[in-house]
Amino acid sequence: MVRGMLRRVIVAGGAVVVLGACATAEVATPRPLETVAGSGQEMRTEPSPTPTPSPLGPAGVVPAAGEVGEIDVAELPPVISSIPTGRKVVFLTIDDGWEQDPGFAEQVLKQRIPVTVFAMRDAVEARGPIDPAAFGGKFVGAGGWSYFQDLGAPIENHTLTHPDMRTLGFDGQKAEICGASRAIYRRMGVRPTLFRPPFGNYNTDTLRAAKSCGIEAVLLWTASVQPGGKIAYQTPDKKLHPGDILLLHFRPNLARDFRVLVRKIKRRGFELGNLDAYLHAAMR
């Protein structure tokens, strides 16, 4: 069961139901002291902002009863690169957070396009060396965390500083993941339940560290989106498949590339899915 995702979806009669306009927003009420899972250490929490849901409820299609296959949930968080469904639905995920283009945010909000953000603290706050692919952008660090609050999308974990996790020991990996979760919680009021390792690189220590930080699944991808909205497939047939998870980045020209990508996906007969709802149905 995906505990953290219950904040966004409920199950009724075997079907996933998205809470709509009448739903009451969950208010995070931090305790004076909180124990980090698996660490045995207490840390003092800070008051967090109340999550502000869309008045229309989350965007994207949700699964029908019995549509989604089961993802095995073992002792460690599962590593997921696609959702087990036969429906022509794909999922959009966006990494890092360097380029904070208001034109992209406007598209997502006005068209109610479902996206899931995997935020890296140093990118969102534009500190330290900037990703070379983000150079030349007009909006690097332009809005900070407020940009992502206004975006209205789920904000998940992509570490503090974007290291290759395999180069770190357990303690170093835990510091990156738990530190990013705390940063997101302080700013967004919701603690991440999903983690994407930088470069897609991970090992068993990554999964152990992620679990100790409250992460319930590690998300990879089946295709990445390049400049111009071009899709780079990881499958031999070079096609979209039901349940594919697509990877984008907050880089220059994202607003333009995103328009091209969404049109391309819809022309091929695919819908855009609500990732939280599908994961909830699969990890039962």
| Cα-based angle 150, 59, 6 (whole degrees, multiple of 5) | 90
pLDDT for 3 = 45
Question: Look-up: residue for tokens 């290291």?
Answer: 163
- State residue 128's pLDDT score: 84
The predicted structure's pLDDT at residue 189: 96
pLDDT of 132 reads 87
Task: DSSP for 224-243, please give it.
Answer: EEEGGGEEEESSTT----TT
- By DSSP bridging, strand 15-18 and strand 9-12 are antiparallel
Q: Which residue has the tokens 């009669």?
A: 13
| pTM of the model as a whole | 0.82
Q: What is the reported pLDDT for 26? A: 37
Alpha carbon distances (Å) from 45 to 10, 32, 243: 28, 6, 37
DSSP state of 22: T
3-class secondary structure, 137: coil
**Residues whose CB falls within 8 Å of the CB of residue 276, separated by 6 or more in sequence, listed in order:** 5, 8, 9, 58, 116, 154
Please tell me whether residue 188 adopts helix, strand or coil conformation: helix
3-state secondary structure of 43: strand
Contacts 24+ apart (CB under 8 A), 141-144: 141/98, 141/100, 142/100, 142/101, 142/102, 143/100, 143/102, 144/100
The CATH number covering residue 108 comes to 3.20.20.370
| Per-residue pLDDT at 50 | 54
| Number of domains present in the structure of the chain | 1
Quick one: pLDDT at residue 58? Answer: 64
Residue-level pLDDT at 133: 86
Query: In which domain, by residue range, is 210 found?
Result: 4-282
Q: Which among 34, 55, 35 is positioned nearest to 46, based on CA atoms?
A: 34
- What are the average pLDDT values for consecutive 10-residue runs of the chain, which has 284 residues? 43 39 37 44 50 60 97 96 98 98 96 98 92 87 96 97 99 99 98 99 99 99 96 95 98 95 98 98 93
**Predicted local distance difference test score (pLDDT) of residue 43:** 47
Confidence (pLDDT) at 57 = 57
- In terms of phi and psi (left: phi > 0; alpha: psi -120 to 50; beta: otherwise), the region of 267 is alpha
| Cβ–Cβ under 8 Å, residues 120 and 158 | yes
Question: What's the pLDDT score for residue 135?
Answer: 78
Q: Distances from the Cα of 157 to the Cαs of 75, 190, 192, 279, in angstroms?
A: 20, 11, 6, 16
